[in-house]
Amino acid sequence: MAGNRGARRLLTILLIAGALLWLVPIVWMLSLALQPNELLARTTSNVAWGLIPWPFTLDNLGYVLSQGLTPRWFLNSAIVAVSMTALVLSLSAMAGYAFARIPFPGRRVLYPLVLAGLVIPEQAVFIPLYTMFADWGWHNGYAALVAPRVAVPIGVFLMTQFFRGIPNYIEEAATLDGAGRWTIFTRIMLPLSKPAMVTLAILTFLYAWNDYLWPLVSASRPEMFTITLGLASLQSNFADSEGLGRVMASGVLASLPVVLLFLLFQRQVVRGIAMGSGK
């Protein structure tokens, strides 16, 4: 008994140590963001390996926030992330429900085809996708930033599996009461699928917010940059070796919404990862 308690205590200590270790880069980023660039050009470990922001300054955060387009870039990221999340949820829920509950012809072929999308790396379709959007003249617009990420096989898979787990009798009872397919989907199945929807929403939002590569090539006009792209464009010299504080301030600001989202919905995020649905 005492041995078990000792082992548990040791495990707890190890986990806390691991968590603190994981936090070091984040604390370091925050600390460097709050130190003057002139100092950081000479040393990044002034006090306590640089983990304590001394001397302290808000100049770097102020600089990033004062750039004319920074609010616009935040707005763009919000529009893209929210639109993408809403569309992924709608499409995945409808497709998932159809695959799970509607015995339409070709379902047994179509569903594996959708799942096959899971093994196609994003980079493999990057160039055709890019040229297709170029042909349509969509680049430098919200549609081009959102559309390529809307058809997400993992979302369809997640929702299909969830709908399959809902007992049939619930749907049968609704049918007996005269509910049609759409009513059953919107009034019964969707409310029941809230846990899966929340998980999918959070993962999609995080992915959309952090996305860099696609906005990098699709958006060339500054007014269409997302926050990740915009902040990267504020680099002031080669290799960013003279403006570390601003780089770190950019990182702090860009990650703030994501950190807040995680703090608010950490249970669902953890559940989503546990379900193996991390992209």
**Site residues for other proteins per CB under 8 A:** 38-39, 41-44, 63, 127, 130-131, 133-134, 139-140, 216-218, 220-222, 225, 229-230, 232-242, 244
To the nearest whole angstrom, how small is the minimum distance from the Cβ of residue 60 to other proteins? 11
To the nearest whole angstrom, how small is the minimum distance from the Cβ of residue 109 to other proteins? 34
Q: Which is nearer to other proteins, 148 or 230 (CB)?
A: 230
Q: Which is nearer to other proteins, 5 or 221 (CB)?
A: 221
Q: Which is nearer to other proteins, 29 or 240 (CB)?
A: 240
User: How far is the C-alpha of 147 from the C-alpha of 127, rounded, in Å?
Assistant: 15
Tokens of 87: 């569309």
User: How far is the C-alpha of 107 from the C-alpha of 68, rounded, in Å?
Assistant: 51
Q: Which is nearer to other proteins, 41 or 170 (CB)?
A: 41
User: How far is the C-alpha of 234 from the C-alpha of 225, rounded, in Å?
Assistant: 12
To the nearest whole angstrom, how small is the minimum distance from the Cβ of residue 242 to other proteins? 6
To the nearest whole angstrom, how small is the minimum distance from the Cβ of residue 133 to other proteins? 8
70 within 8 A of 47, measured Cβ to Cβ? no
76 within 8 A of 226, measured Cβ to Cβ? yes
Q: Which is nearer to other proteins, 5 or 42 (CB)?
A: 42
To the nearest whole angstrom, how small is the minimum distance from the Cβ of residue 71 to other proteins? 15
157 within 8 A of 165, measured Cβ to Cβ? no
User: How far is the C-alpha of 196 from the C-alpha of 137, rounded, in Å?
Assistant: 35
258 within 8 A of 209, measured Cβ to Cβ? yes
Q: Which residue has the tokens 């616009």?
A: 72
